[in-house]
Amino acid sequence: MAGGDPEVGRFRNYLLACARHYRSNVRDRERAQKRGGDREHVPIAAYESCSADEPLLGVEPADNDTPENAYLRAWVRQTVALALQQLAKEERAKGRSEQFELLRDSLEGQELDRSYAEIAAQLGSTEAAIKVASHRLRRRFRAALLSQLGATVDDAADAEAELRELFHALGGV
């Protein structure tokens, strides 16, 4: 079969398999003897930027991450970004863009720069109202995430499972 079949599995898993096969093919080509696969390749540009007393190699940081984990992180980042865009658009339409911007960091897993009381004072509201708004915003953010994931799976139950699987694969990030 030339492409992914929704009956067989998830699109994300299909892309992961494509990446693994691509990486394997690249590795095979690099190891081929006719291409000098057993020798270390140094790009010519590396020589141009180094002086005689400066070491040529060893300046790049080591990356011990697997391509699969990098792909999963990128997938989650993109899904979160799309969900945040969707939520920001909804909040703007309701005239709550300032409140959204002040509470946005909490949606991304960061601590707020200010307390709820300070945010309430800036918005001319009460601390209790801002706490409730924050709670509702987090619920709506989760729904927006599920909506984004729902576009990649067949039904809503699969979107919930996909969300759990992604966060489990990333160590509960």
Domain boundary among 16, 45, 62: 62
- Does 99 lie in the same domain as 40? no
In a domain, 3, yes or no: no
- Does 77 lie in the same domain as 45? no
pLDDT digits (tens, 9 = 90+) for 101-152: 999 888 877 788 889 999 999 999 999 999 999 999 999 998 998 888 888 8
- Does 41 lie in the same domain as 26? yes
In a domain, 2, yes or no: no
- Diameter of the chain measured on Cα atoms: 73
Residue 27 DSSP symbol: H
In a domain, 1, yes or no: no
Which residues 6+ apart lie within 8 Å of 154 measured at CB? 6
Q: For position 160, what pLDDT does the model report?
A: 85
Quote the CA–CA distance of 29 and 83 in Å, as a whole number: 39
- Does 141 lie in the same domain as 99? yes
In a domain, 94, yes or no: yes
Q: Please tell me which of 33-37, 77-81, 100-104, 153-157 the model is most confident about, judged by mean pLDDT.
A: 100-104
pTM score, whole prediction: 0.60
Would you give the end-to-end CA distance of the chain in angstroms? 35
Domain region containing 73: 67-173
Quote the CA–CA distance of 88 and 109 in Å, as a whole number: 16
Name the band, by pLDDT with cuts 50, 70 and 90, for residue 56. Answer: very low
- More confident call, 11 vs 54: 11
Q: For position 46, what pLDDT does the model report?
A: 47
